[in-house]
Amino acid sequence: MHTLAAARAMQGQGKIIAFEPFEQTKRMLEKSVWMNGFSNMTTIYQAAVSNTTGHHEFFIGATSGHHSLFSLDHTPNHHQNPIEVPLLRLDDTIAPGQPINLMKIDVEGAELDVIEGGASIITSNPDIALIVEFGASHLRRIGRTPDQWFESFSKLGLNHRVINQDTGMLESLSIAELTKVESVNLFFARENSAAWKRLS
């Protein structure tokens, strides 16, 4: 869904790099991209993005959007054995100097690993924007506090706003307010960057 939405918004111009570690979902993504005429602008890796390379257990959720590198003990599919998937780092995968305008991160608790493994890309693209899912339940599973989570983005110079799921408008909510929401997408960018200017 994210890949197709981005490709349509880009009107077939530019490049999309997508990552999907679950083989069945990756095959569906390839087929969907081909059916919609976006194969030429899309590169798809069958791997989970992290802060290291190698292989890792991948836990299967109730839907493909809920699979995670972290244990899902309280999901309907918690009895299903995890599978092994390859891991890669963004800094090792994306060529140095490649301009990146937008990064969408939806990784069920592995957000900080993703940005750690892509810190060089984020640093070298001052106008980059990130859309990142925030879920307090994910943080509890990985043993991080909301303050620790947000501090990792602040160290990269990124400020955030909440994306209203109904209107798409950007809003301000305190960390305390965010911890009461099951899941929400946040928009991150640097102050005075082109990303903020486009939205204003």
Comparing 83 with 32, the larger pLDDT belongs to 32
180 residue type, one letter: K
pLDDT tens readout for residues 73-105: 554 545 577 778 899 999 999 998 899 999 999
pLDDT of 107: 85
User: Among 39-43, 85-89, 128-132, whose mean pLDDT is lowest?
Assistant: 85-89
Distance (Å, whole) CA 66 – CA 62: 6
CA atoms within 13 A on the CB side of 11: 0
Is pLDDT of 152 > 90?
yes
Rounded mean pLDDT of the chain? 87
Instruction: Report residue 64's pLDDT band, with 50, 70 and 90 as the boundaries.
Output: low
pLDDT of 23: 87
pLDDT of 122: 96
- At residue 132, the 3 state secondary structure works out as strand
- At residue 43, the 3 state secondary structure works out as strand
pLDDT of 195: 87
How large a percentage of the chain has pLDDT more than 90?
59
Is pLDDT of 126 > 90?
yes
Mean pLDDT calculated for residue range 102-112:
89
Distance (Å, whole) CA 94 – CA 44: 12
pLDDT of 108: 78
Distance (Å, whole) CA 192 – CA 197: 7
Distance (Å, whole) CA 153 – CA 175: 14
pLDDT of 65: 57
The answer to whether residues 153 and 119 touch, using CB atoms and an 8 Å cutoff, is no
Comparing 133 with 136, the larger pLDDT belongs to 133
129 residue type, one letter: A
- In the beta sheet, which residues pair with residue 45? 19
- In the beta sheet, which residues pair with residue 88? 49
Instruction: Report residue 200's pLDDT band, with 50, 70 and 90 as the boundaries.
Output: low
Distance (Å, whole) CA 198 – CA 191: 12
The answer to whether residues 148 and 142 touch, using CB atoms and an 8 Å cutoff, is no
User: Among 14-28, 45-59, 142-156, whose mean pLDDT is lowest?
Assistant: 45-59
Instruction: Give kind and range of the element (H or E) at residue 42.
Output: strand 42-45
